[in-house]
Structure 1
Amino acid sequence: MRLADLQAMFQAGVLAGAEDGARILESVKNSAQADRTTLFGVYVNAYRARLAEFLAADFPALRALIGEEAFDALADAYIGAQPSRQRNARWYTTRLPDFLRESAEWRDNARAIDLASFERALTDAFDAPDAEPLAIDALGGFAPEQWPGLSFAFHPSLILLELEAGTIATHEAAMEQQELPPPDEQRGHVAVWRADLDSVHCELEADEFLALSLAMEGHAFGDICQMAAFRDLEDASPERLAQMLTGWFQEGLVVAAESREKEG
């Protein structure tokens, strides 16, 4: 048997698991120390244990929320359903929130799903591409009549989430090893991004979440004002939206601005 064939068989066996994989490797001889099934099981267990470590490292608050036993069972189920297919282990854990949503056992646990989504957003924001923030002085280059047509591009790390209102408090308590707060069925809004080489977050009011969502979709400033008024958000006046925009610049979220209005 060629080495390449043996390596491919070995990889398939590891992914299949110790019991099924051992049958795949019937051509491998036993060693003087142990039989091939036992030796192969060492590789299988090490592979799964390493993937479980990645999951625990990326979702520590989720582990604290549901408990070690339940988390270990979740990790085992995820590893069985999601074999590692990328060389970079960083990306292996990224589908865990989706796996929770798709799982019959977890799909109704909104608290766990939201907490996992928040933890994934923190990791994704940290690893996102970089971009140079646009100084707020750049707005001075646009005439007043151009403002309704202003549209903005945002930092690649910016992520908006709609979560259970207590998600942030749960995450903070878990990371500080404090008692977790009770569930909160109300929904809240959170922005996550990278600042100064670290992932940060900010809870948003409903009007700012709407405005920022629309802005990230490419809607112009004037259109955002009209949509906010149409949805009866009393606080979403042009002045309030201008304050939001100033805040986005101050946080380094805006990386480009352009006007769709024709000059003259």
Structure 2
Amino acid sequence: MTLAAQQHMLAAAIRDGAEPQGLLTADSARGLAVYRHAYRARLAQALADNFTVLARALGDDGFDALAQAYIAARPSRQPSIRWFGDGLAGFMAAAGDDLVPHASLVDVARMDWALRGAFDAADAPLLDAATLAALGADDWAGLVLHLHPSVQRVPLAHAVEPAWKLLREWDPDAGTPSPEVDAPAPHAHTLLAWRQADGTRWRALEPLEDALLAEVAQGAPFARLCERAAAELGDPDAAAPAVVGLLQRWLADGLLRQP
């Protein structure tokens, strides 16, 4: 057997629990058990790091049970452990009550992942008001805005943000008891997450802003944003001021990049 074949067999034995035929002695079998445990423990630790608030919401035992089930169902295939967990929210959505005792926890996972993604996203020069001020009157209709790479728009089914904030601000190492959190109510909306000044920010989007950011993400020109605002508001005269107001907010928040 070639060295490469032995390495693949050992990797499968550690990762998938396969038995490496002909490679084990009594001592190496004990070593393999140690490696198997360490492999899963490290992946569970990575999940806890990527999903800090979810881990606090579930508690140590509950999160470990979820992590081990996810590791068994979705073994890591990424070269970097940073990206392990990209399918956790989807896995949770299909899991039973024994692993996910409340449906809102799926949204907690989505929020955790979105904010981590915003923090790690690529950088890009921000669009500023001076660039827009230099545009001529005839340039505005065809103006295409571009979202900063860190901007994440995440559909949520529950109003998890207040509970998420409470748990994120809680420090388990300080010895204080876990905050009492009410079960989040169902509320279909979109979460906006992004990076600003080396920190992450988030807020729930109102329907108009959500609709216009969706248009921006699809490359729609400024004229289309105004048309969409008029349709959403039911008032063509209010459309342009509403779009301009949101544009000013996007510039202040650092949501837009230079083209």
Give the TM-score, by structure 2 length: 0.87
Task: Give the AA of the match of 1:2.
Answer: T
* Paired position in structure 2 for 1:219: 220
Task: Give the AA of the match of 1:135.
Answer: D
Task: Give the AA of the match of 1:242.
Answer: V
Structure ID, larger Rg: 1
* Paired position in structure 1 for 2:26: 30
Q: Structure 1, residues 183-237: CA drift from partner, whole Å, max 9, x if none?
A: 2112333211111122211222211111111112111121122122223456962
**Matched residue of 2:133: which SS?**
helix
* Paired position in structure 1 for 2:76: 84
Larger deviation, residues 105-114 vs 81-90: 105-114
**Matched residue of 1:231: which SS?**
helix
Give the 3 Å change call, closer, same or farther, for CA 185–236 of structure 1 in structure 2: farther
**Matched residue of 2:249: which SS?**
helix
User: How far does residue 246 in structure 1 lie from its aligned partner after superposition?
Assistant: 1.0
Q: Distance in 1 between matches of 2:197 and 2:247?
A: 20
Q: Distance in 2 between matches of 1:115 and 1:236?
A: 35
* Paired position in structure 1 for 2:121: 128
Task: Give the AA of the match of 1:4.
Answer: A
Give the 3 Å change call, closer, same or farther, for CA 172–107 of structure 1 in structure 2: closer
Task: Give the AA of the match of 2:194.
Answer: W
Q: How many aligned residue pairs are there?
A: 249
Q: Distance in 1 between matches of 2:92 and 2:154?
A: 16
Whether the aligned pair in 2 keeps the contact of 1:161 and 1:190 (CA below 8 Å) is: yes
Larger deviation, residues 171-180 vs 233-242: 233-242
> Pairwise CA RMSD of aligned residues?
2.2
Q: Structure 1, residues 75-131: CA drift from partner, whole Å, max 9, x if none?
A: 111101111222211011222112223435578954111111110011111111110
Q: Structure 1, residues 157-206: CA drift from partner, whole Å, max 9, x if none?
A: 10112324532111111123322233211233321111112221122221
User: How far does residue 72 in structure 1 lie from its aligned partner after superposition?
Assistant: 1.4
Q: Distance in 1 between matches of 2:230 and 2:240?
A: 10
Q: Distance in 1 between matches of 2:238 and 2:58?
A: 39
Give the 3 Å change call, closer, same or farther, for CA 233–73 of structure 1 in structure 2: farther
Give runs of aligned pairs for residues 46-125 of structure 1, distance below 5 A: 46-103=38-95, 109-125=102-118
**Matched residue of 1:6: which SS?**
helix
Q: Distance in 2 between matches of 1:27 and 1:120?
A: 40
Give the 3 Å change call, closer, same or farther, for CA 40–165 of structure 1 in structure 2: closer
**Matched residue of 2:87: which SS?**
helix
* Paired position in structure 2 for 1:4: 4
Q: Distance in 2 between matches of 1:189 and 1:114?
A: 11
* Paired position in structure 1 for 2:164: 171
Q: Structure 1, residues 45-86: CA drift from partner, whole Å, max 9, x if none?
A: 110011000111111211222333222111111101111222
* Paired position in structure 1 for 2:176: none
Whether the aligned pair in 2 keeps the contact of 1:225 and 1:236 (CA below 8 Å) is: no
Identity of counterpart residues, as a percentage?
31
Unaligned runs of 5+ in 2: 171-178
Alignment partner of 1:195 is 2:196: yes
Task: Give the AA of the match of 1:95.
Answer: G
Whether the aligned pair in 1 keeps the contact of 2:229 and 2:242 (CA below 8 Å) is: no
* Paired position in structure 1 for 2:242: 240
**Matched residue of 1:186: which SS?**
strand
Whether the aligned pair in 2 keeps the contact of 1:134 and 1:254 (CA below 8 Å) is: yes
Whether the aligned pair in 2 keeps the contact of 1:169 and 1:181 (CA below 8 Å) is: no
Q: Distance in 1 between matches of 2:64 and 2:30?
A: 23
**Matched residue of 2:122: which SS?**
coil
Whether the aligned pair in 1 keeps the contact of 2:233 and 2:239 (CA below 8 Å) is: no
**Matched residue of 2:85: which SS?**
helix
